[in-house]
Structures are given as structure tokens and as C-alpha cells.
Amino acid sequence: METVKQKTLNGSFSLFGIGLHTGLNLTVTFNPAPENTGYRIQRIDLEGQPIINAVAEYVEETQRGTVLIKGDVRVGTIEHAMAAIYAMGIDNCLIQVNGPEFPILDGSAAMYVQKIKEVGLTEQNAAKDFYIIRKKLEIKEGDSVITILPDDDFSITTMCSFKSKFISSQFATLDSISKFDEEISSARTFVFVRDILPLLQANLIKGGDLDNAIVIYEQQLEQEKLDQLADLLHVPHIDANNIGYIQHKPLMWDNECTRHKLLDIIGDLALIGKPLKGRIIATRPGHTVNNKFARMMRRELRNHDVQAPIYDPNIEPLMDNIRIKELLPHRYPMQLIDKVIAMGATTIVGVKNVTSNEPFFQGHFPAEPVMPGVLQVEAMAQCGGLLILSQLEEPERWSTYFLKIDDVKFRQKVVPGDTLLFKVELLGPVRHGISSMKGYVFVGDNVVAEASFTAQIVKNK
């Protein structure tokens, strides 16, 4: 089991441009950040330079972009930047901006991606905490539906119907997040001519032009109204009979608009706070339904803060009972790990099948058998010992001993018939023969016990 580490930027970078809705000259700077801090946005133009955590529950407006609001502090047009840092594998980043929105740049995520590639990423010590989808989850908003299904990777299929005779229904697919740069990042934002006047009346898109958006003219207007729009967009007048795209640059793909919708989904789902492993199917997505989906996923995360490992009894174990006996000195009735099903440099997953024949049930308790909590902690420690010893030369010549146990919690009884999954993680490098670990015990999807413990590696006499 390979342990994927968190990443942050290798240095800082800045981008400059016009705000789409405010028309302001804006600078946004992306900085490295400590592990486990996630994405945070700082308004450096305001007194006290307040910081907003970039999470879904702070999204208050979704009319033509994603706007975070906390108290009197707001920051908008963040979705393209968030899509870029999420898709490029950044887990922790402090973003500083000198105004109420990010610059629109070219209307895509391409410039963010290019800067990230130039600066590079650095690996951090903490493990990357994926949220693995175990069951179908779905949210609906009018005609819009977003569904996520279990999968080994992260992928998105987006289907859009634009209610237009000129631009028909389209779909776009991203099979792997690793293809974001090549297939999605350059897709530009778009707007229909019929929607521009209401946006202008709402005091939006003050910084919009044909360099940062695809404008679609698909419903004929009076020539006078079209001329007014052309003046607002600073483009030459066109014949009102010429239905089509109004643009300086040709489309990069026939389905560029739907690819941009997919880009927006990634940006909005970056506000979940954890990378996902699952397959998303989005029908007629938009910022409103995207945010509702992200909020639903945030609730799922709170309900399952620590996920149980995936256990398939048909897969051959990494360590069977015989190999465990070679590494650990424990014997019946104190060998409490039956097999190891996954292991990486810092994490191990072990299994114990609890049966009615366990000797401790004779006295604990005859009328209501319950596995003693102290033995659950001992089993976690044995799992951690297997992780450490497996990384030593001649592991049979060493043993591990408890030095300290902290933060022990028992959440649910363990009874005959339960299958226990033990997940133990090293909290840092082993130093001077001392290791610190965090362990969890699962029955099904539920955490039944957890503990932090420190152990010492001692050479056998």
C-alpha cells in the first residue's frame, strides 16, 4: 500500500489581471502552506488582512461564479484557480489577493497551471487524506443532477443542454485528474448574448471582453441592441442576422463550453477539503448545484472523519499467520493479528476475526461476551510492531515494547462474529529506536476504538 504524501508549492508566484465583475486591477499570489492547513484565501487589502478557509459552507453567492463570504469579507471568481491547484495535486496553499475577486485572466485555468508547473511542488511529511466513495451519492437542483459512484480513481463526465438551436447538447469526460492540464485547463468561460444585458444590469462583468470569454450569439436581437452590446464589449459591430460565436480566438474544442463546465465542477469541489476517489456524473451542472453537492460531501466527511480500509477477503494477504509468528514473539492466546492485508512505508492494515471461542470471553463476560478494550489496544500495537519490524534488517532479532498510550477512546462494543480491521499510521520517522503511532479499530465502516501510542524497538537477548 503506497503512502501518498501531501504537497504544497515549492515557492510563491503571482498573477495580475482585471476582475471580471468589478473591473479592478487585481493581483493574486499563491504561497506554500504547512501540511494539513488546506486552502486559505487572504484579503491583504483589508484591515487585519483576514483569512477565509476555502470550504463549501462559506459559499454565499453562485450567480455567475463562486463567492466566499465570511462576515464582511468576500472573495469571488475563485473557481478557475481552485480547479488548477486541486487538479495539479496541491493540498495546502495560502492565496493572497488585493481585492474582492480573483482576476479573470484568459477565462480559463491555463495560466494558473502554467505557473504551478514553473514553480513546482514539494512533498510534505503528512499523508494525503483521500475520501474514498463507498456508495452512490446524489444531489438534485431543478434539472441539474450530480452523482458520484465508487471508483479507484477520480473522473468526471459532464453533460450539458444549453436550450439553444445554435449550440446543441454536449458532453465532456475527464478520465483521470492527471489529464486536466492537457484536456480541460484551457477551456474558457462562456456567456450567451441573451444573458449579457441582465448581467450588466446586475452590475456584473465590468471586466469581461472577448479575450477572457466565449460570447455566443444564438438568438437574433434588434440591430440597435446588438450594437450597444458590441460597444460594451469593445468589439466591431456585427450584422444581427449573423448567428454564431463572437470571439477573437477560435474554439479549442467543439465542446469547449462543456469542458469549461467540467473545469468549474472541479473548482467548486475543491472546496470539499479532501481529494476524492470516485466517478462523478454531472447533468446540467452549475455553481449552485456544484456547491450543494460540495456541502453534501462536507457532511459525509464529518460523519466519516476516518474511513475504514477496504477489505476484500478474496485477495491474498501480505502477511499470513505464519509470517506474523516469525516477526512477533506473541503466541496463543496473545497473538491478536490474523493477517496483514495492506502495508506502506507509514501505514499498515491488519485483520482479526473475533469468534465465540476466544478465551477472554469465558470471563468477560459469560452472559454478554465483549472483547476487552485493553486487548484492542494491544492488537493495534502488534499491528504497529509489524509495520516497524518489517522495515528492519533481520527483523526477527528485534521486538517492540509499549512506552506510552494516549487518547484512548472506545466507541462501540466488539462482540463474537465481528471482523476487526486495524489501521495504524506512523506519526513521524523512527528516531533513536522510538516510534509514535496512531491506531484505529474498525468494524465495518465504524470506528470502534482508537489510540495514540509510543513504542521502543529493542534488540532481543
CATH number at residue 446: 3.10.129.10
Query: Locate cell 507509514: which residue?
Result: 346
Q: Is residue 264 a known part of a binding site?
A: yes
β-strand pairing of 434-443 with 446-459: antiparallel
Same domain, 25 and 109: yes
Q: What is the pTM of this model?
A: 0.86
Q: How far apart are alpha carbons 267 and 282 in whole angstroms?
A: 14
Same domain, 269 and 328: no
The residues with which 459 forms a beta bridge, in sequence order, are 398
For residue 382, the enclosing domain spans: 321-459
Phi/psi at 389 (nearest 5 deg)?
Answer: -65, -30
Whether residue 316 lies inside any domain: the answer is no
Cα first-last separation, the chain = 32
Domains: count for the chain: 3
Same domain, 240 and 272: no
Active site residues: 287
Whether residue 393 lies inside any domain: the answer is yes
Same domain, 176 and 198: no
Same domain, 240 and 271: no
Whether residue 284 lies inside any domain: the answer is yes
Whether residue 151 lies inside any domain: the answer is yes
Q: Is residue 330 a known part of a binding site?
A: no
Q: How far apart are alpha carbons 388 and 367 in whole angstroms?
A: 39
Q: How far apart are alpha carbons 210 and 245 in whole angstroms?
A: 10
E-assigned strand segments in 253-397: 276-283, 339-343, 347-353
Contacts 24+ apart (CB under 8 A), 66-70: 66/267, 66/268, 66/271, 66/287, 66/290, 66/291, 67/101, 68/41
Burial label, 254 (beta-carbon count in 10 A; 0-12, 13-18, 19+): exposed
Residue-level pLDDT, tens digit, the chain, 461 residues: 567 899 999 999 999 999 988 889 999 999 999 999 999 999 999 999 999 999 999 999 998 899 999 999 999 999 999 999 999 999 999 999 999 999 999 999 999 999 999 999 999 988 899 999 999 999 999 999 999 999 999 999 999 988 777 777 899 999 999 999 999 999 999 888 777 767 666 666 666 666 677 888 777 778 887 787 777 767 778 787 777 777 667 889 999 999 999 999 999 999 999 999 999 999 999 999 999 999 999 999 998 888 999 999 999 999 999 999 999 999 999 999 999 999 988 899 999 999 999 999 999 999 999 999 999 999 999 999 999 999 898 898 999 998 999 999 999 999 999 999 999 999 988 898 999 999 999 999 999 999 999 999 999 88
Same domain, 206 and 159: no
Q: Which helix (H) or strand (E) holds 117?
A: helix 110-119
CATH number at residue 47: 3.30.230.20
Q: Is residue 432 a known part of a binding site?
A: no
